Chains A and B, each alone.
Chain A
């Protein structure tokens, strides 16, 4: 019923939006506009990188290591060179003197070890899938065939797969310097005091399994040169960062290198990277003087797109008997994989400030050790560090509630920052500017029917129903809108966090917006148009947004960390304000009034108290004609602006999940899911809704479905979608979504960012629900993903190797937890 109403609401919002044909006087910001870019994206009538065809184009295929760890003793590409259609074939050795090392832009600590990372392995391979040779041929089929003619001799070395073993003395080493990449510590308050004589201590270890980001569009690269300048097309989230990094690593001067991100079909962080393939394609076009293209296959992608998560989390919570939290201690092992890529070591640290969640406490202590293994490197994946942190604290708070016999909502109420306390500086040193956890939680409880579901749960427990019901809570916050440049500097990050925009009125009154953000599915063209339409009083359809090409949008920091609207959208607004100021001066001049007497409403400048006015379109033409301009006025209505936020933004919300666990088969099925998010002010509710839905799906996927599995020799077993299971709409429940709105105070739009919130919130809600269903069996954890087999084993199936449960412990023991 509720779902139906909810779906109806969105449909109505769209219908209303579509009906508003004359937008003058109606605010665009806040309307559920359908996305203007979607028609070309979903019909494929657009320029994806793999669609690009250039004259004389050659195709690249990579031979990849079948060994997790080995010395390369010989590579012979000579037989491949004479295969039909083959233009060139190279081994790593052939490129050694010009390929450089792939960059790591986040040297997190003094002790960080950043190993040399050749794009193509030269003498050692350190993960299955690492490129060892390549073929360039006249079509991709010939290139793939010729790979089979390459001979490589490997001298196997021992694989390093387990983080704890990797840190032990005397074992095999991934790199000369050892397997520890860095240690990083952070503390606030007196942690010893918090734990000393604490009446309750919850001590848990959670495994954040390794995930494979799976964007709809696989990675693809096209590189071309005219012999002097280079253009790289790539399915990337970060054309600007990429250009700088490629200039630094390849020696191609920055002003001779253009990077283009055509329309890009999803990234989730996996395209926030400087990849081996991008560097190698540039080198190949430089050597061969012809355009080259490489497009990965899905299996190649599973092996070599950087992976996500993979942390071993130990979390301890010290609390009073009434549930009040005294302190939290976190000890993290983070799997770096074989090398440090663009922001690999920084990802776990983005969570370092979040393990305290929305709670007040006296002390906090965080240690992270980065560990090298012979696996694909990890790096940013939707949420990057914050989903891991949120999972640990939200799981631990549920454990605390169970331990104390309190309702999990009640324990949260006793600890969270109340809405009167904002702005609030947390024990981790962040200042949360605004929020209202009570409001979001109350709304979520009402939509969910919390009490009724608890009653049903008790009934099923009493009946010992083979299908048990569990209820999971997640009251999350996160830090996003990356980021204040100064803060990034203090964390040793290699760049700033500002964003750039340019807005120009064309002679006919239409508007072009240039943004430094690089959308890859988020809908910036629509949202930015809404912001501009309101700010300049022009119709929504009169705005077009240019992005993703360093020759067109020369300045920017790109799209990740839910930053585009919060930083880039604000830059657009600021540029509009500047344009408006210029237009006001021109209007005042033409109307022979003082600028202070000129008012702006709905696209028209008027002298206060008169009907004399000029529309912004008229002013655009007047500026272009330049017949009658104020002294010193340049003949254009345009402006540039950058925005560097003073703080992160902190979306929050309450997610509630009800799961039915079939104890006979072990299947966990989500019965209902309610998400009430507070992402601050909303520019386009439809886009927010889409981000929330996709985010929740991705978080549920971690909880129940996805896991990258390596075997004992370091071979990736989940190389196809038959083995790496991604849920589709058919596997997910309808989500009931709603919002509360407490505007951010750190930016003029009041927006907080919504790209990652759903993913961050949902994983612990689902796992909490699964565990809650199984409490009567004495179960206190199910490792992720909570597959049917794992649940069966936790319940004692097959001898119970997967858990500690000893069978039904009786409903009485669990009553405290249930009520």
Chain B
């Protein structure tokens, strides 16, 4: 529970950060809120030679309404995201998912960008970024580039960032009128990570689903965009009567959600086996779509 020794560097500008990180290469790790990185260090699962703390770098923190999208700075804490009226109004799915992250203490330190850059498939925000087709803006000594969400989550704890590349922030598209959202998280205690989570954005027209976007948390080594179920949901009526078809007549929505675990490779661990996770993905997708359509 005591990390190995490391150097600590706290640059005062983005240029300085990029320079320091460029020099250090693989040896350095970026430190944001530390809520994921420090546990790794303390368990001695990571031995970086240096931590580069972005806490004093100006311009990385805050939420901005930019017309067709909302820009969320990487260093914006979960708590700040939750308090942002812009987020709540234009990209409510981000707020819904962020509200389920950990507990108030963690949300006051942990950052939006850190959560995504950590690329933990059990984190709640990656599935949201996938479902909303966010765009990641990153910078290194080489300059600035944009990475679409679909390409950002490469593998377990492996984002598409180069060593030393700083995530500046994320463009979250506003989906506009007619869309409904829900994040359905299944976890064992209030502050625990998701066993499985489902981020849903749906557009209902004339009583049936015109478009559905589904992101899955903790259903593989990387967060999953559940394309099969998105296709199956098209044209389905999201609001049958009664008890949702649990015992009685067939429910097309439930049938469609049977596709939710298609193509996933969920982990097996203390909290759930693979078959149970697949089952949960189907049930939770059903619930998420129902709620998002309501």
Contact = CB atoms under 8 A, between A and B. Distances in A.
Contact of B1 (A300, A665, A731): A300
Interface string B167-206: 0000000000000000000101111110100000000000
Interface in A138-170: 140-141, 144-145
Contact of A726 (B189, B195, B247): B189
B243 A465 contact: yes
Contacts of B273: 789, 798
Contacts of B188: 705, 725, 787-788
A466 B43 contact: no
B283 interface: yes
Interface in A299-341: 299-300
Interface in B113-134: none
B271 interface: yes
A665 B270 CA distance: 16
B1 A725 contact: no
A725 B4 CA distance: 27
Interface stretch (B11-19, B149-157, B224-232, B274-282): B274-282
Interface string B235-268: 0000000011011000000000000000000000
B41 to A, nearest CB: 12
Nearest to A139: B2
A722 B186 contact: no
A143 to B, nearest CB: 8
A466 B1 contact: no
A141 B246 contact: no
A726 B186 CA distance: 17
A235 to B, nearest CB: 17
B275 A798 contact: yes
Contact of B270 (A717, A727, A788, A792): A717
Contacts of B246: 464, 466, 664
Given A464-B247, A466-B247, A792-B276, A140 B2 contact: yes
A664 B43 CA distance: 36
B92 to A, nearest CB: 23
A728 interface: yes
A71 interface: no
B1 A299 contact: yes
A792 B279 contact: yes
Contacts of B186: 665, 667, 788
Contacts of B247: 464, 466
A731 B5 contact: no
A731 B193 CA distance: 14
A797 B1 contact: no
Interface in A771-803: 787-789, 792-793, 797-798
Contacts of A731: 189-190
Nearest to B286: A664
B294 interface: no
A490 interface: no
Nearest to B190: A730
A717 B271 CA distance: 11
Contacts of B85: none
A298 interface: yes
A709 B271 CA distance: 11
Interface string B1-36: 110110000000000000000000000000000000
B272 interface: yes
A729 to B, nearest CB: 9
B267 to A, nearest CB: 13
A665 B189 contact: no
A718 interface: yes
Interface residues of B, number: 27
A725 B5 contact: no
* Residue from B189, B192, B243, B284 whose CB has the most chain A CB atoms within 10 Å: B189
A797 B276 CA distance: 8
Interface string A366-382: 00000000000000000
A725 B2 CA distance: 22
A190 interface: no
Interface in A549-579: none
Interface residues of A, number: 35
A723 interface: yes
Contacts of A665: 186, 280, 283-284
Given A717-B270, A728-B191, A789-B273, A141 B5 contact: yes
B189 A727 contact: yes
Nearest to B186: A665
A297 interface: yes
Contacts of B190: 728, 730-731
B241 to A, nearest CB: 14
A793 B280 CA distance: 12
Contact of B193 (A299, A300, A722, A728): A722
A466 B243 CA distance: 8
A601 B90 CA distance: 73
A717 B272 CA distance: 14
B279 to A, nearest CB: 6
Contacts of A722: 192-193
Contacts of A797: 275-276, 279
A351 B276 CA distance: 37
Contacts of A664: 246, 283
* Residue from B188, B283, B284 whose CB has the most chain A CB atoms within 10 Å: B188
A718 B276 contact: no
Interface string A704-727: 010001000000011010110111
Given A464-B247, A664-B283, A797-B279, A145 B5 contact: yes
A664 B287 CA distance: 11
A457 B270 CA distance: 32
A15 B17 CA distance: 57
B270 A798 contact: no
B256 to A, nearest CB: 16
Contacts of B272: 789
Contacts of A144: 1-2
Contacts of B189: 705, 725-728, 730-731
Interface string A644-675: 00000000000000000000110100000000
* Residue from A140, A466, A665, A709 whose CB has the most chain B CB atoms within 10 Å: A665
Interface string A564-602: 000000000000000000000000000000000000000
A56 B283 CA distance: 61
Contacts of B243: 463, 465-466
B50 to A, nearest CB: 17
Nearest to B247: A464
A665 B192 CA distance: 17
Nearest to B2: A144
A778 B243 CA distance: 22
Nearest to B191: A728
Interface in A445-476: 463-466
Interface in A415-432: none
Nearest to B246: A466
B170 to A, nearest CB: 26
B270 A718 contact: yes
A336 to B, nearest CB: 25
Contacts of A727: 189
A401 to B, nearest CB: 27
Nearest to A464: B247
A299 B45 CA distance: 14
B83 to A, nearest CB: 20
A730 B192 CA distance: 11
A550 to B, nearest CB: 31
9 contacts: A141-B5, A299-B1, A720-B43, A728-B189, A787-B271, A797-B275, A797-B279, A798-B273, A798-B279
In order of increasing CB-CB distance, the 6 nearest A-B pairs are: A297-B1, A730-B190, A144-B2, A466-B246, A798-B275, A464-B247
Interface of B: 1-2, 4-5, 43, 186, 188-193, 195, 243-244, 246-247, 270-273, 275-276, 279-280, 283-284
Given A705-B188, A720-B43, 11 more contacts: A299-B1, A300-B1, A464-B247, A466-B244, A664-B246, A728-B191, A731-B189, A788-B188, A789-B276, A792-B279, A793-B276
